[in-house]
Structure 1
């Protein structure tokens, strides 16, 4: 007797029995695309894509350089370099940060601007915001603070008895953590726990005869839903704060540089939080419609989580130190905005706090505390050492710096203005809604095929003058492009978190595409419709 997994009992003593633990937990918990066993078609495509950059990047540069354009020579030189870098980013011929560095070097070599001017953005306060936030995140990961929070949420009453509640809980955990630490690190950290819970669910289904004895536990719909919730929940949560995702800091920096207006930490949260909340609801709905779990009620997960929490023990001194440093940093980030609401933006108190509590400086102060607060005074051991700090994502910091350089030069050379005016003349978009729609979906489409950080670095500098040429306040369209750059729900190459869950072997590419298309379209429309309202309520673009 045998049917599909629809509640009907299977019984076939002759069939071999799947070892669920080996199938789900026997391999590495993180495999990049290059470490996966690709199909012949996928392997051919990846090789062709990466190899093509060696030819296409120089051709793109030469083509733009030689085509007679009615622009100044230094603008055309910058456009040629940028064209080559974009090709390198799309093809991933070299690591994406290295592609940025090649472009920065080429800018100086072809004489677009002197090295001192080109490299100035690497001294931006936002670079220090990145460094400080990454070091704080490293402490959370090293000492298990993030993992403890995850187990706490999963252990809440009733969560472990329902597959839907577990999927929702994982989404909430991922979104909250991704608002404060790297999306990639969050997903990589939670993946082993998700695989462990999936193994419990798969064994339960096997023991109750809900699947064939030799079923493939990597192809359960509940597993696909759980894995995609990890990846997509991180993307949605990363929108919440300026430090939630690299495109946020890049876009905000470019907006502030171009407009001279500042977007505070609290303003960003006020504008992005309602959008993220609605997006999370849409994510859950689409995810469960496309990947409906085979079972609703489950047993054994609560015991699994209880065992993991017991292994953690009580909160250590290092964890308390990390919590103190992180809490102080977030408090100081929000303090100027809170003071502005309480005593007014024109008060001397607000001006003092706003002037002194620069976000980059605050991040560095918080990170520095981790090297001061002791865990063992007799041995002079602090919460972190420099070996820990050296493990942060320096590639993203380099990519951010190069992205800021391109954005700054696009503005200073006038090339961005030229592109914006030509786009305005060609497309004829002239309303705030049309420009915001164009900005969001352009960033979203580019982020599907290259780094979301690179997407923000390319699209935002073009959107700003496009809006200006149309006589539209550029703040909202540029912020829509910034947030849209973090979407990328459709393909494994779109974001690192997509690559991680795809690399687990649990998510078929067809299901990622089917789920991602719906999220891209509906999510993009929600962003375009909601952002002007929420941003206006907190004084952005007003």
Structure 2
């Protein structure tokens, strides 16, 4: 075997080495300091939860590796059988997210995202503020169906290329800054709109189904998530181009011709790209039409009327399998190939699926051992707090923690705790959990807050102070929008 040409990973820092020990030490401290009235199994789960939180927050080991701890520790500690510990890793909603990843990989393989981005920018216009709006609309739309991270990674090179056409004036620099921040922020905002848009949304749905038996369908979540994104995205654009960065350059006429040539170079929509977009469109439509819609006077039938057992995961996996089954025509591509190859599928972030499973396994153990009830009893001091104030405080807390930790890990940690809080103070758990899920996507101020922030910051086109200045203002707007929209729509859609 030839030697690898890749550079070896850097050695772990002193902080990471200490954090590796802090996890198991945290387990021991939590187990020993927990009140003896708590059953031993619950004390073990509390210790494992502390261990996982420490490693998730510090990333002493990869997030996915930390998520495997329940598979080993719960059977060893007598908390759960191997079968019970492993079952959440095969939750049906994990396969829904797997399907979303595979659809995204196919769109990326056929360069469909570039066609969508250039089409939207060309229709919105080439004045500086309009360019920012066009890029943000394209990014948000893609992020509804593709992970935030993948969307930001696909869109920031396009934003860079468009920004390079603006020239070197002070106004051009301002527009480039707004463009890059627009990609990061729109990726997070678009992900809030759908169940598969970002991991916290799916963690919310999976936790609700696991703990209550209630299924939150794709259409149900979108009925709340999409209005949240629709309200927040234009407010984000206004904040970026009229408040944080006010003076903008327009793309010159000759640069418009460059964009037109790039669109022309993509050719007509045909072959593998057309088939992939068709599969994507049919899958998205099936998600929206799965459950029947009752509007009082009119009832629109759904796919479950024909097949009662069908779920969003069923639809998603069917769409993903189609990508492997359908091939390009012999005369279009040589050699003939499927719409998605396994080599392309292997590039999806498999570790995120393990993180889902680890969080669900931990939550199931907390519930079965009575730990969630015990935590809830200690949160009853919040009973009587006005609901709007409670939701605002919860959203701010989640946002603040999300600026410093992975929003996926944060959602996995927070769901069982928030559910306990809701039960103990007499609030609908679903309401608080939904606010938690959406607020987990609202970290905009720091490069480490979300993967999209980190990706665009890594481009070298941004200063930290620019992101902090715009991000803090957007953080304030975002928590208010989340609380207001959820408060208005929850009783109608999910109440």
Normalised TM-score (structure 1): 0.84
Q: Is the 8 A contact 1:439 1:478 kept in 2?
A: no
What's the offset of the Cα at 1:355?
2.4
Q: Please list every run of 5 or more consecutive structure 2 residues that lacks an aligned counterpart in the other structure.
A: 1-8
Q: Give the 3 Å change call, closer, same or farther, for CA 48–283 of structure 1 in structure 2.
A: farther
Q: Is the 8 A contact 2:152 2:452 kept in 1?
A: yes
Query: 2:116 aligned with 1:149, yes or no?
Result: yes
Structure 2 equivalent of residue 225 of structure 1: 178
Alpha-carbon displacement from aligned partner over 1:69-88 (angstroms, at most 9, x marks no partner): 13111111111111011111
Query: 2:46 aligned with 1:79, yes or no?
Result: yes
Q: Give the 3 Å change call, closer, same or farther, for CA 51–488 of structure 1 in structure 2.
A: farther
Query: 2:355 aligned with 1:389, yes or no?
Result: no
- For residues 371 and 69 of structure 2, what CA distance do their matches in structure 1 show? 20
Structure 2 equivalent of residue 237 of structure 1: 190
What's the offset of the Cα at 1:354?
6.8
Query: How do 1:96-245 residues align onto structure 2 when only pairs under 5 Å count?
Result: 96-156=63-123, 159-160=125-126, 162-203=127-168, 205=169, 220-245=173-198
Q: 1:94 aligns with which of 61, 64, 75?
A: 61
Q: For the pair shown, which has the larger CA radius of gyration, 1 or 2?
A: 1
Q: 2:368 aligns with which of 401, 412, 422?
A: 412
Alpha-carbon displacement from aligned partner over 1:482-503 (angstroms, at most 9, x marks no partner): 1111111121111111110110
Q: Is the 8 A contact 1:429 1:435 kept in 2?
A: no
- Secondary structure of the 1:298 match is coil
- For residues 20 and 143 of structure 2, what CA distance do their matches in structure 1 show? 35
What's the offset of the Cα at 1:61?
1.4
- Secondary structure of the 2:447 match is coil
Query: 2:308 aligned with 1:308, yes or no?
Result: no
Q: 2:484 aligns with which of 529, 533, 541?
A: 529
Q: Is the 8 A contact 2:27 2:51 kept in 1?
A: yes
Structure 2 equivalent of residue 469 of structure 1: 424
Moved more, 497-506 or 303-312: 303-312
Query: 2:398 aligned with 1:398, yes or no?
Result: no
- Secondary structure of the 1:79 match is helix
- For residues 13 and 241 of structure 2, what CA distance do their matches in structure 1 show? 34
Structure 2 equivalent of residue 17 of structure 1: none
- For residues 440 and 364 of structure 1, what CA distance do their matches in structure 2 show? 33
- For residues 391 and 244 of structure 2, what CA distance do their matches in structure 1 show? 31
What's the offset of the Cα at 1:431?
4.1
Q: Is the 8 A contact 1:417 1:466 kept in 2?
A: no
Q: 1:366 aligns with which of 309, 316, 319?
A: 319
Alpha-carbon displacement from aligned partner over 1:262-320 (angstroms, at most 9, x marks no partner): 22211211112222122112212222245425434331442221121122111231111
- For residues 446 and 104 of structure 1, what CA distance do their matches in structure 2 show? 27
Alpha-carbon displacement from aligned partner over 1:490-541 (angstroms, at most 9, x marks no partner): 2111111111011011111111112211222221122112202122222x0x
Q: 1:279 aligns with which of 222, 232, 249?
A: 232
Q: 1:444 aligns with which of 399, 418, 426?
A: 399
Query: How do 1:39-78 residues align onto structure 2 when only pairs under 5 Å count?
Result: 47=13, 49-69=15-35, 70-78=37-45
Structure 2 equivalent of residue 457 of structure 1: 412
Alpha-carbon displacement from aligned partner over 1:163-209 (angstroms, at most 9, x marks no partner): 10011111111111000011111111111111111111135x3xxxx
- For residues 274 and 481 of structure 1, what CA distance do their matches in structure 2 show? 17
Structure 2 equivalent of residue 355 of structure 1: 308
Q: Is the 8 A contact 1:140 1:146 kept in 2?
A: yes
What's the offset of the Cα at 1:459?
0.9
Structure 2 equivalent of residue 9 of structure 1: none
Q: Give the 3 Å change call, closer, same or farther, for CA 155–443 of structure 1 in structure 2.
A: same
- Secondary structure of the 1:376 match is coil
- For residues 255 and 491 of structure 2, what CA distance do their matches in structure 1 show? 44
What's the offset of the Cα at 1:388?
1.4
Q: Is the 8 A contact 2:303 2:310 kept in 1?
A: no
- Secondary structure of the 1:371 match is helix
Alpha-carbon displacement from aligned partner over 1:219-269 (angstroms, at most 9, x marks no partner): x22222111110010111101010110110011111222233222211211
Q: Please list every run of 5 or more consecutive structure 1 residues that lacks an aligned counterpart in the other structure.
A: 1-33, 36-42, 212-216
Q: Is the 8 A contact 2:292 2:305 kept in 1?
A: no
Alpha-carbon displacement from aligned partner over 1:44-82 (angstroms, at most 9, x marks no partner): xx9455344123222211210111413111111111111
**Two-structure CA RMSD over aligned residues (Å):** 2.4
Q: Give the 3 Å change call, closer, same or farther, for CA 348–225 of structure 1 in structure 2.
A: closer
What's the offset of the Cα at 1:392?
1.1
Q: Is the 8 A contact 1:339 1:350 kept in 2?
A: no
- Secondary structure of the 1:472 match is coil
